[in-house]
Amino acid sequence: MQIGIVGLGRMGLNMCLRLLLKGHKVVAYNRTPEKTKSVVRKGAKGAYSLENLVKILKPPRIVWLMLPAGQATDDHIARLKTLLSRGDILVEGGNSFYKDDLRHAEELKPYGIHYVDAGVSGGIWGLKIGYCLMIGGEKRMFHYLEPIFKALAPKEGYLYCGSTGAGHFVKMTHNGIEYGMMSAYGEGLNS
């Protein structure tokens, strides 16, 4: 499948590389061209603006955002809703609050753009081992995107969690458990 990745931080960059290794076609965009060029050297197509990214992708376009939650994500979605077409798919993979997903899906609905939220866990080991994915949104979009999820995740490492917001809700719960465990380890070791 062809997919556009927006945001080439540590996780976004490694997700691009993992998708390339699994035979997918990646169009990569980052606000700093140097990061984009680094992925182009590994086999991705480079886009140097959101307009360029949308122009390169073939419909129905898949654009996966890997940006910090909050204003950066909101700003990119606001721009992309005017660039994408009816039937295109926007996947939001940041550490966003699930209620923001509900707002984003409603914002995109009049444009006919499908919205999928994806909690992503894997950190620095994701490239080698895979990313655990917690997916929310329309079930038919989950099935359509499943080849991407299979490529990114370890075996049985992705899950359809339910309607819009469910993916990020499960990721929020995952983070709460993980941070609680780390805090307990720290307290125990400090004793």
Which residues does residue 133 pair with via DSSP β-bridges, in sequence order?
120, 158
Of the candidates 99, 128, 171, 187, the residue annotated as catalytic is: 171
Q: Clarify whether 45 is annotated catalytic.
A: no
**Terminal-to-terminal C-alpha distance of the chain:** 51
Of the candidates 146, 150, 178, 187, the residue annotated as catalytic is: 178
| Block residue for tokens 């990646």 | 26
Secondary structure class of 160 (helix, strand, coil): strand
CA angle 14, 20, 22 (to 5 degrees): 105
Q: Clarify whether 171 is annotated catalytic.
A: yes
CA–CA separation, 186 vs 156, rounded Å? 31
Any idea what DSSP says for residue 150?
H
Active site residues: 171, 178
